[in-house]
């Protein structure tokens, strides 16, 4: 539900600014508040699911999302909409964090990584489909209709969750939802160096993808002059790559250990991002090469993310909801921290080189974290 909450209304930004008499910056704030809600909601709902079980907090979060979506459709001002978008983000966080916790309850090891790969099949498609969904709704309704559409999607998800998803956390494995207990759980997990190591790698992979999403319009449209239609095809192709490549992970795990695969995959992100940086800096980069390098990066990220996520979750034997919350929050924090760096680097470099530089730094740091941890484990 997170990608739908974030992306579905993006095509309506100009119309919203006119209708609400708001500046582009004010409309952009509605996106920021939803992202903050997504991050904060995971930190709350993860431990709550460790206490009450998975199903009740999941249904509660979906109901919160539905209510906030309906209220957002009637928002009289930008200020009210910003607050409702935060609530909407908190509600949609339930699906993100609890789905991962449910998978951890049911599976371990290679089966966990394989199931997370299939989960990425859904999360990879949603960011591409959601803006198209919003654009089509704008043909028959105004921007408020998009939020009613999100409420409809939430209602459908609620029905599926209520009828088909079982409770996966037995009462004997639950922990009390108290401030001291939650704090102790988070402290224990953050003191687990192996867990933190893989959380960092997952966050690094997610941030590489976020930088691509945020920077690709400037690289492809402004720097290389790609039309909106061409950009749509390129972006859609990237989504296909990001969706298909994780499905290769279960096949690779039949022959190689997860850490071995990461030791091969992560240096590939360094090579792809370094090639992007060097060719862009020396004005050797053409749009075709840029697309190949970006898609290569996305393919590697698509394979590495479920492996690193599974390795992180297997380091935690209780409190899977809290662990999933740490994973989700880390992705948002690192992505939010690195995104402004790309804009800052464009003061000195062209857009492609700036994006490549930040990607190189992230990729190298991820490799260092992995290599240092592997040496320590030996």
- The per-residue pLDDT for range 271-325, each reduced to its tens digit, is 999 999 999 999 998 999 999 999 999 999 999 999 999 999 988 887 889 998 9
- The per-residue pLDDT for range 40-79, each reduced to its tens digit, is 899 999 999 999 999 999 999 999 999 999 999 999 999 9
| Per-residue tokens: 192 | 């687990």
> Would the pTM of this model clear 0.95, i.e. be above it?
no
User: Is 83 a residue whose pLDDT tops 90?
Assistant: yes
Q: Is 349 left (phi over 0), alpha (psi -120 to 50) or beta?
A: beta
Neighbours of 55 (CB within 10 A): 18
Q: What is the mean pLDDT of the chain?
A: 88
Say which residue, 121 or 19, is predicted with more confidence: 19
CA dist 192 and 189 (Å) reads 5
- The per-residue pLDDT for range 6-30, each reduced to its tens digit, is 878 878 888 898 999 988 778 878 8
> Which range has the worst mean pLDDT, 94-108, 266-280, 337-351, 354-368?
337-351
Q: Is CATH 3.10.20.30 correct for 178-378?
A: no
CA dist 266 and 308 (Å) reads 11
- The per-residue pLDDT for range 146-190, each reduced to its tens digit, is 999 999 999 999 999 999 999 999 999 998 888 888 889 899 999
The whole-number pLDDT of residue 374 equals: 74
Instruction: Residues 1-167: name the CATH superfamily.
Output: MFS general substrate transporter like domains (1.20.1250.20)
- List the helix and strand counts (H, then E) for the chain: 15, 0
User: Is 124 a residue whose pLDDT tops 70?
Assistant: no
- What's the distance, CA 166 to chain centroid? 25
CA dist 333 and 260 (Å) reads 28
Instruction: Establish whether domains 1-167 and 178-378 are of one fold.
Output: yes
| Per-residue tokens: 29 | 């704030």
Q: In terms of C-beta density within 10 A (0-12 exposed, 13-18 middle, 19 or more buried), how is residue 178 classed?
A: exposed
Neighbours of 156 (CB within 10 A): 11
The whole-number pLDDT of residue 171 equals: 92
In the chain, where the domains are located: 1-167, 178-378
């Amino acid at each position: 539900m997170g990608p739908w909450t974030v992306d579905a209304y993006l095509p309506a930004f100009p119309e919203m600014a006119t209708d609400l008499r708001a500046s582009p910056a004010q409309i952009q704030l509605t996106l920021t508040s939803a992202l903050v809600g997504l991050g904060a909601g995971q930190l709350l709902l993860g431990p709550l699911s460790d206490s009450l079980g998975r199903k009740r907090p999941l249904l509660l979060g979906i109901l919160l999302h539905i209510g906030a979506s309906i209220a957002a459709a009637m928002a009289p001002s930008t200020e009210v909409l910003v607050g409702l978008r935060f609530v909407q983000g908190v509600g949609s966080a339930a699906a993100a964090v609890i789905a991962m916790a449910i998978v951890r309850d049911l599976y371990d090891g290679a089966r966990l990584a394989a199931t997370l790969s299939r989960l990425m099949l859904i999360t990879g498609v949603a960011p591409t489909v959601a803006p198209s969904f919003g654009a089509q709704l704008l043909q028959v309704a105004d921007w408020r209709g998009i939020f009613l559409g999100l409420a409809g999607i939430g209602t459908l998800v609620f029905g599926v969750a209520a009828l088909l998803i079982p409770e996966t956390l037995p009462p004997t494995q639950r922990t009390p939802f108290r401030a001291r207990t939650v704090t102790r759980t988070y402290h224990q997990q953050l003191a687990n160096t192996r867990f933190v190591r893989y959380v960092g790698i997952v966050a690094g992979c997610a941030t590489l993808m976020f930088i691509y999403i945020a920077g690709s319009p400037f690289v492809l449209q402004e720097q290389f002059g790609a039309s909106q239609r061409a950009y749509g095809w390129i972006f859609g192709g990237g989504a296909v790559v990001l969706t298909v490549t994780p499905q290769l992970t279960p096949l690779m795990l039949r022959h190689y250990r997860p850490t071995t695969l990461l030791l091969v995959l992560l240096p590939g992100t360094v090579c792809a991002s370094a090639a992007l940086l060097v060719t862009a800096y020396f004005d050797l980069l053409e749009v075709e090469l840029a697309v190949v390098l970006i898609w290569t990066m996305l393919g590697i990220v698509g394979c590495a993310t479920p492996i690193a996520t599974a390795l992180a979750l297997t380091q935690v034997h209780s409190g899977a909801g809290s662990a999933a919350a740490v994973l989700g929050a880390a992705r948002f924090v690192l992505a939010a921290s690195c995104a402004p760096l790309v804009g800052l680097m464009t003061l000195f470099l062209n857009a492609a080189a700036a994006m490549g530089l930040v990607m190189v730094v992230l990729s190298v740091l991820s490799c260092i974290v992995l290599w240092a941890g592997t040496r320590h484990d030996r």
